[in-house]
Amino acid sequence: MQTESSAIDEAYKFLRAALNPDGSLTRSQVFPSVPPTPQLTANSPSETQLALTKDIHLHNSNITFLRLFRPANHTGKLPIIIDFHGSGFVICSAASAPFNELWIRACAFAPALIISVEYRLAPEHRLPAAYDDAIEAVMWVRDQAKGIDGCDPWMKEVADYSKVYMMGMSAGGNIAYHAGLRALDADISPVQIKGLILNQPFFGGVQRTPSEERLSHNPAFPLNASDLMWSLALPVGCNRDHEYCNPLVGCSPKIGRLPRCLIRGFEGDLLVDRIKGLAKLLEASGVQVVVKIEDGGFHGAELSDDQSKVQELCLQIKDFIDSS
């Protein structure tokens, strides 16, 4: 029988991280970082020819930034997708290779201007730090729309501020959800948030769900890793029924004001029951919800070598935007 100590040790190995005495993490590089490519060159890899990318500082003190993705061969205005990367609030970056490659494809296919947010990671910066960074990114888009302190040339050329979406995978889906709630009471005019795209959003709770019990040892995302991520991300002293983690406990009265939502999941993901529960909560609150739960699959399947999962995600994003 596995002890609690051995389960925690295995979870740290899964994250490729080690906890330091001061409470910070030493992180091994799970994925390589990719530099931006603001201009295409003759020797650019073929997979990067689809889009241009560049980084913009968001908050110098917090060392946060925005990575912009725009289709390489597109003219005219584009919807804006503000994206938050996954990995449990504690690892990876907007510049991590799998996310970078995924959004290059998605921005060209949608097509859309994607703004991926480099937010602060836990446990050095526990929640709500990531939510604060998310809403700061929204405000940056608002200021671009108003022309405050000038306007980035890409934003001026292609951004359609009447069609803004907030999107995230895993922990990023959690961030998109909570940032969407915050944006309801923020002065973001003339920006219009048309929808949320929650891809396998990362939520939890004290009481185990059947899918968590059934898939607790799933190698793509084991339950002990989920528990560890929440223990590192939540405010000190809070359990998994905190509002940041479990929206079904003491749900926000603002939920019914959220825009249209696309919620995606896989039956092979231990989070699937919580994803279905969130979809039912939103629908019961009067939110228009498009639910896409696929048979099989696993958490983060789009980051694997299965290109069919990438194509499926891109198609669903495009359909959701086109039908808004």
pLDDT over threshold 90, residue 307: no
Q: What is the pLDDT of residue 194?
A: 98
pLDDT band for position 45 (50/70/90)?
low
Q: What confidence tens digit (pLDDT) does each residue in 212-257 have? A: 999 999 999 999 999 999 999 999 999 999 999 999 987 888 999 9
- The 8-class DSSP code of residue 207 comes to S
Catalytic residues: 170, 269, 299
Tokens of 168: 């995230």
What's the CA gap between 36 and 104, in Å, rounded?
Answer: 11
**Cβ distance 138 to 186 under 8 Å?**
yes
Q: Is 277 helix (H, G, I), strand (E, B) or coil?
A: helix
pLDDT mean over 107-121: 97
Q: What confidence tens digit (pLDDT) does each residue in 90-108 have? A: 999 999 999 999 999 999 9
pLDDT over threshold 70, residue 1: no
pLDDT band for position 49 (50/70/90)?
confident
What's the CA gap between 178 and 198, in Å, rounded?
Answer: 11
Q: What is the pLDDT of residue 74?
A: 86
Q: What is the pLDDT of residue 46?
A: 58
Give percent above pLDDT 90 in the chain. Answer: 86
Q: Any long-range contacts for 299-307 (C-beta under 8 Å, 24+ apart)?
A: 299/170, 299/200, 299/218, 299/220, 299/221, 299/266, 299/268, 299/269, 299/270, 299/271, 300/86, 300/169, 300/170, 300/200, 300/220, 300/221, 301/220, 301/266, 302/102, 302/169, 302/199, 303/98, 303/99, 303/102
Residue 89 lies in a domain: yes
pLDDT mean over 165-186: 98
Residue 21 lies in a domain: no
What's the CA gap between 129 and 221, in Å, rounded?
Answer: 24
What's the CA gap between 170 and 92, in Å, rounded?
Answer: 12
What's the CA gap between 83 and 16, in Å, rounded?
Answer: 24
pLDDT over threshold 80, residue 115: yes
**Any idea which of 116-120, 147-151, 164-168, 200-204 has the lowest mean pLDDT?**
147-151
Residue 4 lies in a domain: no
Q: What is the pLDDT of residue 184?
A: 97
Instruction: State how beta strands 159-169 and 78-84 pair.
Output: parallel
Tokens of 209: 């769900």
Q: Which spans in the chain are helix H?
A: 4-15, 97-109, 129-146, 153-158, 171-183, 210-214, 223-233, 272-284, 307-322
Q: Within its chain, how far is the Cα of 153 from the centroid?
A: 25
Q: Is the pTM of the predicted complex or chain greater than 0.75?
A: yes
Residue 35 lies in a domain: no
**Cβ distance 293 to 275 under 8 Å?**
yes
What's the CA gap between 310 and 233, in Å, rounded?
Answer: 28
Q: What is the pLDDT of residue 272?
A: 98
Total number of domains constituting the chain: 1
Q: What is the pLDDT of residue 324?
A: 83
Q: What is the pLDDT of residue 40?
A: 73
Residue 17 lies in a domain: no
Q: Which residue has the higher pLDDT, 45 or 301?
A: 301
Q: What is the pLDDT of residue 7?
A: 87
Tokens of 232: 């590192």
What average pLDDT does the chain have? 94
Q: Give the range of the structural domain holding residue 171, as residue numbers without chain letter.
A: 50-323
Q: Is 236 helix (H, G, I), strand (E, B) or coil?
A: coil
What's the CA gap between 235 and 228, in Å, rounded?
Answer: 13
CB proximity list for 89: less than 8 A, separation 6 or greater:
121, 122, 127, 130, 171, 174, 202, 229, 232, 233
CB proximity list for 268: less than 8 A, separation 6 or greater:
215, 218, 220, 296, 297, 298, 299
Candidates 211, 119, 212; CA nearest to 172 is 119
Residue 272 belongs to a domain with what CATH number? Answer: 3.40.50.1820
Residue 306 lies in a domain: yes
Residue 120 lies in a domain: yes
Residue 8 lies in a domain: no
pLDDT band for position 47 (50/70/90)?
low
**Any idea which of 21-30, 46-55, 118-127 has the lowest mean pLDDT?**
46-55
Q: What is the pLDDT of residue 2?
A: 57
pLDDT band for position 304 (50/70/90)?
confident
